[in-house]
Amino acid sequence: MPDSDRPLADRGIADATAAGPVLAGIADLAGPDVVLCSPALRTRQTWRLVSQGLTDPPTPSFEAAIYGASAQELLELIRSVPDDAGTVLVIGHEPTMSTTADLIAGPGSRAEDLAQLRKKYPTSGIAVFKVASSWAELEAKGAVLEQFLIPRG
């Protein structure tokens, strides 16, 4: 089957289910305001499972550009988010997620978390960034990696 039609494996289902409560428990995170999700089957399944752990999940925006995007292309997509969005959740694929996280992680980022995500960005890994600028102004090294979480179900 085409890769975009591949479903989550049992491990991915368990981890995505565990990720919802983890996201809900992050300090200062009432939930994402914007969800940018690849249209691949497994990322849509991930969002469905994650959203079950959130109080008021938004309607996701399924963005074809995420599937197979480069880090720079994903950064451009994030820059298009409305400035009034406080929290953005991106659900995508490797290696784009780790390279994008590494691209935007700037001064003040937690060194041990950055090292972990560079080593392996597993299924349902969550990189939590603080972005001081507007989304449109987000640049390379322009965010602070505050946490890298790996929920396990």
Give the number of domains in the chain. Answer: 1
pLDDT tens digits for 34-45? 999 999 999 999
pLDDT confidence band for 25 (50 / 70 / 90)? confident
pLDDT confidence band for 153 (50 / 70 / 90)? confident
The pLDDT value recorded for residue 35 is 96
CATH number of residue 145's parent domain:
3.40.50.1240
Can you give the pTM of this predicted structure? 0.94
**Does position 57 have pLDDT exceeding 60, yes or no?**
yes
Give the DSSP letter string of 72-122: HHHHHHHHTS-TT---EEEE--TTHHHHHHHHHB-TT--HHHHHHHHH---
For residue 59, which of 35, 30, 24 has the smallest C-alpha distance? 35
